[in-house]
Structure 1
């Protein structure tokens, strides 16, 4: 075995760089063995890698310019430590990303490594597009010993590790602390019931003159947490984990909140249903709270001069879990899967790489390195989000199963049904029945 340079991590373990020569040989041998079986999928990587000992990996992700720069810096650092490995880096905005990924993986030029989220992980795993990473986990080449077990489990589909969490996230109720303090109103607290939250929001509306809370009846994150607190779930195996009656209760809860003036009117609720951070009502001044992800706090803070706070969603916080904000997956037909696995291991376990990437993709999956990032954080909003996530981690329940095929359609159908109820186009029970019918069609199509 060739010697490897060691980089210290907080608990004394080491991350080995540069890449060991035996991994190259193992990866190239695997390519020779599997090449006849994968046909067009062999477009991954460089065709001449076997002849000169160098590897060029393709990697594809979505995100903004800031994420692109951070990711490029981390990949350049990998090449600096492993000169025989270079990258073909491609990124784009979230809009249209999965359309392009579907085209690439169906044939032509699929990426060796790609970013994916829980909306599509099960679907891609079912297509046999993602490589099972468990063998790398078992060999130690993909070190997951410092991952929260529930976070790791949230990448398992049908017994296979289809994706490795690039970061951890959870649901967060963000509120305008400045507004509350100005009006002598109490801050909401983790553990308050849903009914208590609505009553609190009603008081905010009356005293501050701003609706107390965004109506989250169209927000699958909130609906999912609420279901788990009722002993249900979004999915159960390959079927829905809820009934029309469950959805009706959810819609009726928020109709009652709207009737009491605790939420904005439908047109404003519709604005807040956008995923754009700049349009969240807590920063546009149109509601005192918004229902987001905890790691979005720094971006929210950039859009308001007011001080913000963040807590868990209402109800028992064990309804929340360590969610993979997104994953790194390897294309099943990659000729250089061993090298690709080492790259992913580097991105989540190398101290320099993790520090470079920060919390852009959520809190670092490696708990030791998460503590380092937290200690070094200078952005108050980032430090706040890390603190809250770590506090909630002590209360998390077990991770649910990864969402099944059709999940993205389920999300959009919830928005449609909830807005029908919000605008009065349908009673809660009618909107709920329409939603469940559409969901059943989505998950079998």
Structure 2
């Protein structure tokens, strides 16, 4: 059973104490598409350390899933530690620097490349190629999004993708059409301006997402470009100027609210999103945030893909499971990863807490058990997009977090009229390249 460690000051939901186990000579690991059997020799009991960020609900569910693994493999127990997102990577980095990183840990695409370059994460390619970690059960772009230079460095713990969250009830009251998959940006802006006009300016048609890196990324991908090319930007100053011009024209057409209102939502804080506060009919979010947003309004919300070609989107890992390169038990860690991703019973326990199940078959089982209507809509949207997704890009390089913050800063200057589109783009490109070069 998992033993639980918490950082000081956090309330402990439960503490699992592992019973003493007899010495064993054979480890039997469950590995099929949903976790079958394969033998891994050992001459002693194995205790794996596991680390993730999240709240108490995530902790409870993850511990239950690990308990299930131990019930099938009593020679394997877990020492688990979890905490909030703040300070998580600082702690993980310090552990890695000391050579005592957890055997198995949670990571996201903001840091996967960096940790791979620092030789902290284990290359899982051999386990994937031999089927010990089965990625054939995942959407192709979701499996691909854990690869760096053709090597699998992380396995998606769950899937998420950008989603345009819109106020369906408002559109019904206004007798206006709903946005649709593949809606061109010019048509979307015209539609948003019509929403603003129909509400006499009380509710803008759309959030201005010019500060949102994922909106910019998908807009670039629809034109055959990328946010990054290795350790450099994958687009030009002229491209970014056109992006800022697009939203300058949208402001002029009153399709978006004022810069002051938009700034309230630029941080990404769910509670401040304009579709929830009633300041706009749409917000550019992650699709799995629909249930959180739905709790903040009595109107019915729905989700569709961002404007532009749907092939610009991909099945994104909401977070990955990664193994420490220095683990003493790489085969067992690989087996645990396969179990957490592909086992149906484990998937039912984990539910949608980290996002939709990465394994499509497991996702189907989990979806059948959903009771929350907004979560059902989110799951249905993700599933409907599987065959429309394009190929995944390479996960972002080191320095991505700085680039994201910089985009917000320069975009807000353009939104407020303190800088022209070209001035904002020039400042961004110069500083972003410096951030990427410095890591």
- The answer, yes or no, to whether TM exceeds 0.5 is yes
Aligned match of 2:4: none
- The aligned length equals 412
Aligned match of 2:73: 82
Cα 1:64–1:275 shift into 2, 3 Å: farther
3-state SS of paired residue (1:130): coil
3-state SS of paired residue (2:157): strand
Between stretches 126-135 and 105-114, larger displacement belongs to 105-114
- Inter-partner Cα distance in structure 2 for 1:340 and 1:408: 28
Aligned match of 1:33: none
Residue in structure 2 matching 1:319, options 309, 312, 315? 312
Q: Aligned ranges for residues 300-311 of structure 1 at < 5 Å?
A: 300-311=293-304
Q: Does 1:284 align with 2:301?
A: no
- Inter-partner Cα distance in structure 2 for 1:183 and 1:145: 45
Q: Does 1:382 align with 2:375?
A: yes
Cα 1:440–1:6 shift into 2, 3 Å: closer
Residue in structure 2 matching 1:15, options 21, 28, 35? 35
3-state SS of paired residue (1:173): strand
Q: What's the CA shift for 1:252?
A: 0.7
Q: Does 1:157 align with 2:148?
A: yes
3-state SS of paired residue (1:395): coil
Q: What's the CA shift for 1:389?
A: 1.0
Cα 1:14–1:271 shift into 2, 3 Å: closer
- Inter-partner Cα distance in structure 2 for 1:410 and 1:171: 19
Give the TM-score taking structure 2 as reference length. 0.90
Residue in structure 2 matching 1:408, options 401, 413, 435? 401
Deviations 1:75-119 (A, max 9, x none): 122222222222221122222222222112111531111111111
Deviations 1:287-338 (A, max 9, x none): 1111111122122222222101110000111111111111000010011222
- Inter-partner Cα distance in structure 2 for 1:75 and 1:2: 19
Unaligned segments of structure 1, at least 5 residues: 26-49
- Inter-partner Cα distance in structure 1 for 2:80 and 2:30: 26
Aligned match of 2:3: none
- Inter-partner Cα distance in structure 1 for 2:104 and 2:345: 20
Q: What's the CA shift for 1:14?
A: 5.0
Unaligned segments of structure 2, at least 5 residues: 1-24
Aligned match of 1:269: 262
- Inter-partner Cα distance in structure 1 for 2:28 and 2:103: 24
Give the TM-score taking structure 1 as reference length. 0.89
Q: Is the 8 A contact 1:171 1:294 kept in 2?
A: yes
- Inter-partner Cα distance in structure 1 for 2:415 and 2:400: 22
Q: Aligned ranges for residues 39-438 of structure 1 at < 5 Å?
A: 53-107=44-98, 109-208=100-199, 209-438=202-431
Q: Is the 8 A contact 1:4 1:16 kept in 2?
A: no
3-state SS of paired residue (2:314): coil
Deviations 1:16-70 (A, max 9, x none): 36xx5x4252xxxxxxxxxxxxxxxxxxxxxxxx6xx222211111122222222
Q: What's the CA shift for 1:204?
A: 1.0
Q: Is the 8 A contact 1:169 1:325 kept in 2?
A: yes
Q: What's the CA shift for 1:367?
A: 1.2
Q: What's the CA shift for 1:375?
A: 2.2
- Inter-partner Cα distance in structure 2 for 1:368 and 1:304: 32
- Inter-partner Cα distance in structure 2 for 1:312 and 1:163: 26
3-state SS of paired residue (2:283): strand
Aligned match of 2:19: none
3-state SS of paired residue (1:315): coil
- Inter-partner Cα distance in structure 2 for 1:224 and 1:348: 27
- Inter-partner Cα distance in structure 2 for 1:207 and 1:327: 44
